[in-house]
Amino acid sequence: MKLSDEQKQTLIQAALQVRRWAYVPYSNYRVGAALLTESGKIYDGVNVENAAYPATICAERTAVFKAVSEGERHFVAIVVATENGGTPCGSCRQVLAEFGLDIQVIVVDAQGTIHLETTVNELLPGAFTSKQLPPHES
Ligand code: THU
């Protein structure tokens, strides 16, 4: 499913707006994400840091987990808003890959300028997916 220009702008605004809620006392690096489902809903998310640093969760995974825990599994696109156009980390790429290699990924900076427009497949070539596992329930 192709993202319309209007959907893209709406997602960009959502990702920029939600950055305010990032909990980033250690890095001060605010990240906001806005995920569009095939059903037309937007789930946003922020990075939530922790004094035990590895317990931190990224904005992209917050958005995906919020959506999945509301019953959504089919995603069209995610916009990630960072200060300077920083790109999704490896763990977030893997979590996005679980739900579709065709998901569009757009990275913007704090001004909303687009730095990258790509897909999960391009961000994580050769991803490990459920196809490599023995038969299982979906
Ligand atoms: N971060 C994200 O939220 N998404 C990414 O894909 C990269 C990194 C967050 C994690 C941490 O709170 C801060 O950015 C610095 O690494």
| pLDDT tens, residue by residue, 56-115 | 999 999 999 999 999 999 999 999 999 999 999 999 999 999 999 999 999 999 999 999
Domains located in the chain, CATH noted: 5-132 (3.40.140.10)
Q: The pTM is what?
A: 0.96
From the CA of 58, give the closest atom in ligand 1: 3
Query: Which atom in ligand 1 lies closest to the alpha carbon of residue 86?
Result: 7
Question: Which pLDDT band, with edges at 50, 70 and 90, does 2 fall under?
Answer: confident
With the most atoms of ligand 1 within 8 angstroms of its CB, the residue from 31, 87, 123 to mutate is 31
Report, as an integer, the average pLDDT of 126-138. 88
The Å distance, Cα 28 to ligand 1 centre, comes to: 10
- pLDDT, tens only, 14-39: 999 999 999 999 999 999 999 999 99
Q: Judging by beta carbons within 10 Å of its beta carbon (0-12, 13-18, 19+), is residue 21 exposed, middle or buried?
A: middle
Q: Which 3 state secondary structure label does DSSP give 6?
A: helix
Structure tokens at 95: 């979590």
At a CB cut-off of 8 Å and minimum separation 6, what does 125 contact? none
**How far is the centre of ligand 1, averaged over its atoms, from the C-alpha of 16 (Å)?**
15
